[in-house]
Chains A and B, each alone.
Chain A
Amino acid sequence: MDLSAINPIVLFASLMVASTPILLAALGELVVEKTGVLNLGVEGMMITGAICGFAVAIETGSPALGFLGGALGGAVLSLIFAFLTQVLLSNQVATGLALTLFGLGLSALIGQGYIGQRPPSSGDLVLGLDLMVFLGIGLVALIWWALRATRLGLILRAVGENHDAAHALGYKVVRIRIAAIAFGGACAGLGGAYLSLIRVPQWTEGMTAGAGWIALALVVFASWKPWRVLLGAYLFGGITVLQLNLQAAGVKIPVEYLSMSRYLITILVLVLISVDRTRATLNAPAMLGRKFHASS
């Protein structure tokens, strides 16, 4: 066993790469949940973004357009959810689960012709890191600032806190929520495209492998706070990369235990952070998952 083969700087750079997909998806879901909507379709939107981004990048030869395509794909898929839950008032949990199943199937269909291809290279920038990694961190700061200090953020929080009151004050609850859902879809799509274009990089069916679910869990355990989402994503990405390195270094622990450790440790740490139950309840959007109908 040779632990000295693990270079901390390279390790950190690769953990940032490994955590960017779930970071992007979780940030989008955070905004959606802040407006009081629970979209369980993150996994489906991510994988749809992965294949849309991949296909666009192959067809145009431009990774930038590929990312745009991934975001658009995720957003369009999320609008199906938005229409069903916000206009037709369907159950958010069931609709979100259906969206994941639909996204997995749809991506497999679109992806038929793309198996085995290599996407165009997006070119390295700093320390082997690409622009999207920094975009992800920038997005954390932007969402944190917007929710905290801007009027838009205040309105988003207000809608998630009490939709009847927001309606009574004349805010367009449904429109605001649809916009937030589309934003969440775009973020998830972007995260998926990052997987297929940079992290892996190729297309395989079901390649998100539960990343969307991790993103969902991250939002809850991070108590709907952007910086904690970043922390959780890095923790998850870090352990993912570390366990790969440990496997390569030949540590005598069965691979299965190493693979599962990232899920266990991430959840354990976030549970410990959010252990103060009353404060966690205060952070949770009070209207999360509830239907809004402007009848009275």
Chain B
Amino acid sequence: MTGTLIKIDGLTKAYPGVIANDNVSFQIDAGEVHALLGENGAGKSTLVKMIYGLVKPDAGQMQLRGKPYAPAEPRAARAAGVAMVFQHFSLFEALTVAENIALGMENPPPMRQLSDRITTVSQDYGLPLDPHRTVGDLSAGERQRVEIIRCLLQDPKLLIMDEPTSVLTPQEVDILFATLRLLRDQGTSILYISHKLEEIRALCDTATILRGGQNVGTCDPRQTAARDMAEMMVGSRLHVPEKVSHATDQVALTVNRLTSRAVSPFGTRLRDVSFQLWQGEILGIGGVAGNGQDELLAAMSGEMQVNPDAIRLGNRPIGHLGPNKRRRLGLLAAPEERLGHAAAPDMTLTENALLSGKVRKALEENGFLNWNKARRFADQIIDRFDVRTPNAANAARSLSGGNLQKFVIGREILQNPLVLVVNQPTWGVDAQAAAAIRQALLDLAAEGAAVIVISQDLDELMEITDRFAALNEGRLSAPRPTADLDVEQIGLMLGGAHGMEVAHAPEESTAAQ
């Protein structure tokens, strides 16, 4: 449990136009859970990619157990005992669990032996997993287990975890933490990347905080208040949106027994979803990714047409109408995927503003586009929502995630919707932009519009919504006032009728069908 495992000394990495890491130094002891904290764009990902051999540093050295360590590729890092659980992009949906794990190993044993080892290791660490299932059918939590077990089979000395809890239910987080503590007690060091402060306080022994690519301090998260750490991360005081309920008793939208098909082969169809939405209300819909969120958004926006009476705006049946007709009536939507769904990546901001604002802002006259008006609309969005970009003629792709998100949400809000549906409004957005977006949604509801926020971020839903409902395998629970709920109860709602069975292997097959 003593001694330094890895020492990082003056690592620097610059990309054109931005210094991702500037002379970063810190060390991780053996058997320590070390947190790496920072906003998006603070340089956390670049730093761990250097440790894992995916990116070569421009300057600086690393030492692993006293010896120089400079992995040329991930293979070398794995051979040295460094393993990494990625936040995205590292599983193959069409392959089985065992095949996915074999791909991450240097010399995998024959498939049958590997399957047995996966079963054994997964039982030992309390992460039940069937090696023969196709990854595309697994829940987010189960997918993460695949990655963790892939790492554990190599017996790592240092396990890097990049934002592991962003897609988990609270119960799944507890299971994960128990596994990580078990690993720590066995002497494995863990580098834990996150921006969720409460988690870091519950799990980590030491925290290193990055801001703008620099190490701005190391602290003991158990002794330091969450607020102080947040301010070290952000570098200024945080503005927390204020919540005042404006819900009225006027019905804005009624969804009645909405059933749909799935939008992708691994999607989940909606089953009998019913709820009512009041004017001035924000309804939060939580749930682990892949439980019908994409389908719900598609059904609400009109990309997927359903039975006319399944969705009524006021008293009018609109289930059969396409997106533009719904926009004209005042039902707007902002999908989760910014590049390619909410915005066309290679088109300018003006063009993107026009694409969705055409109907309500009357940017089209007799079949001709009014570019001057469109440009003014885009400028108005940029101005009102503090979108950081030189001007509206820039391509959507050139904006950072947070700025583009402010743009796509702002674009819908400025069209004065009666009902706005947003999916993951602050996903991958830094804390300040997230606070601005949440405030804008609150302001919109205060003006009398009804808002549906579909999100996997429970803190966000607790912060801004009036009522909360959980989406689980395409079924929606009855909405309950958010103020009456605590995190534990929400977690149970997210697990649906299946409750805690994530922790037990035999019932797994019924949970995911």
Segment at the interface with B among A4-12, A124-132, A152-160, A253-261? A152-160
Stretch at the interface among B91-99, B383-391, B443-451: B91-99
A240-256 vs B, Cβ < 8 Å mask (1 yes, 0 no)? 00000000000000000
Residues of A within 8 A of B99 (CB): 154, 158
- The contact of B90 among A169, A282, A283, by CB within 8 Å, is A169
- Residue among B74, B95, B102 making CB contact with A151, cutoff 8 Å: B102
Q: Is A168 within 8 A of B86, CB to CB? A: yes
For the side of the interface on B, what is the size category?
Answer: 20 to 34
Q: Which residue of A lies closest to B150 (CB)?
A: A169
- B92 — nearest CB in chain A belongs to which residue? A161
Chain B residues with CB below 8 A from A166, complex form: 92, 103
Cβ distance B161 to chain A, nearest Cβ, rounded Å: 14
Q: Is the CB–CB distance between B90 and A168 below 8 Å?
A: yes
A171 cross-chain contacts in B, Cβ below 8 A: 103
Tell me whether A161 and B94 are in contact (CB under 8 A): yes
Q: How distant is the Cα of A174 from the Cα of B136 in the complex, in angstroms? A: 25
Residue A162 CB within 8 A of the other chain: yes
Contacts of A60 in B (CB 8 A): none
A283 to chain B: closest residue by CB: B94
**Is B89 a contact of A164 with CB atoms below 8 Å?**
yes
In the assembled complex, the CB of B78 is this many whole angstroms from the nearest CB of chain A, namely: 8
Residues of chain A lying within 8 A (CB to CB) of residue B104: 169
Number of interface residues of A (CB under 8 A): 19
- Give every chain A residue within 8 A of B94 (Cβ-Cβ): 157, 161, 282-283, 286
CA distance A151 to B73 in the complex (A): 20
Q: Which residue of B lies closest to A278 (CB)?
A: B265
Q: Which of B75, B90, B95 contacts A157 (CB 8 A)?
A: B95
- Residues facing B in A135-190 (CB within 8 A) are 151, 154-155, 157-158, 161-162, 164-166, 168-171
Residue B108 lies at the interface, judged by CB distance under 8 Å to chain A:
yes
Shortest distance between the CB of B1 and any CB in chain A (Å): 31
Q: A157, A165, A282, A286 — which one has the most chain B CB atoms within 10 A of its CB?
A: A165
Does B152 make an interface contact (CB < 8 A)?
A: no
Indicate if the CB atoms of A168 and B74 lie closer than 8 Å: yes
Q: How far does the Cβ of A48 sit from chain B's closest Cβ, in whole Å?
A: 33
Chain B positions within 8 Å of A168 at CB level: 54, 74, 86, 89-90
Q: Taking CB as reference atom, which chain A residue is nearest B88?
A: A164
A296 to chain B, nearest CB (A): 8
Q: Closest CB-CB distance, A126 to chain B, in whole Å?
A: 37
The chain B residue with its CB closest to the CB of A169 is B104
Q: Does A281 contact B (CB under 8 A)?
A: yes
B265 touches A158 (CB 8 A): no
Q: Which A residues are CB-close (under 8 A) to B90?
A: 164-165, 168-169
- Distance, CA A161 to CA B134, complexed state (A): 13
Determine whether the beta carbon of B265 is less than 8 Å from that of A155. no
Minimum Cβ distance to chain A for residue B322 (Å) = 23
Bound together, the chains give a CA A170 to CA B73 distance in angstroms of 6
**In the bound complex, do residue B102 and residue A281 qualify as a contact, i.e. CB atoms below 8 Å apart?**
no
Smallest CB gap from B111: residue in A: A149
Closest to B15 in A: A295
Q: How far is the CA of A57 from the CA of B53 in the complex (A)?
A: 50
Contact A154 B102 (CB under 8 A): yes
- Please give me the residue from chain B that is nearest to A165 by CB atom: B90
Q: Tell me which of A151, A170, A282, A286 contacts B75 (CB under 8 A).
A: A170
Among candidates A151, A161, A165, residue contacting B108 with C-beta atoms closer than 8 Å: A151
Q: Tell me which of A154, A169, A286 contacts B93 (CB under 8 A).
A: A286
Question: Which chain A residue has the least Cβ–Cβ distance from B99?
Answer: A154
Measured CA separation A283–B134 after assembly (Å): 12
Find the B residue at minimum CB distance from A157: B95
Contact assessment for B102 and A162 in the assembled complex, using a CB-CB cutoff below 8 Å: no
- Are B265 and A169 touching (Cβ within 8 A)? no
In the complex, per-residue mask of A263-296: 1 if CB is within 8 Å of any chain B CB, else 0: 0000000000000001001110010000000000
Is B265 within 8 A of A281, CB to CB?
Answer: yes
Shortest Cβ distance from residue B503 to the other chain A in the assembled complex, whole angstroms? 28
How far is B100's CA from A162's CA once the two chains are assembled, in angstroms? 11
Q: A151-B102, A169-B103 are in contact. Are A158 and B75 (CB under 8 A)?
A: no
- Residues B102 and A165 in contact, CB atoms below 8 Å apart: no
| A292 shortest CB reach to chain B, Å | 12
Is A162's CB under 8 angstroms from B265's CB? no
Query: Considering the chains assembled together, what is the distance between the CA atoms of A155 and B74 in angstroms?
Result: 16
* Chain B, residue nearest A154 (CB): B99
Q: Considering the chains assembled together, what is the distance between the CA atoms of A170 and B93 in angstroms? A: 18
Complex Cα distance, B93 from A161, in Å, reads: 7
**Chain A positions 4 through 37: 1 when the CB is less than 8 Å from some CB of chain B, otherwise 0:** 0000000000000000000000000000000000
In the complex, what residue of chain B is closest to A159 when comparing beta carbons?
B92
CA distance A161 to B135 in the complex (A): 12
Q: In the complex, what's the smallest C-beta–C-beta distance from A295 to chain B, in angstroms?
A: 9
A151 to B90, CA, bound (A): 18
A166 and B102 alpha carbons, distance in the complex (Å): 12
Question: A residues bordering B, Cβ < 8 Å?
Answer: 151, 154-155, 157-158, 161-162, 164-166, 168-171, 278, 281-283, 286
Jot down 24 A-B pairs with beta carbons below 8 A, ordered by A. A154-B99, A154-B102, A157-B92, A157-B94, A157-B95, A158-B95, A161-B92, A162-B92, A162-B93, A165-B91, A165-B92, A166-B92, A168-B54, A168-B86, A168-B90, A169-B90, A169-B103, A170-B53, A170-B54, A281-B265, A282-B136, A282-B265, A283-B94, A286-B94
Having A157-B92, A158-B92, A162-B92, one finds 4 other A-B pairs with CB under 8 Å, namely A158-B95, A161-B93, A161-B95, A166-B103
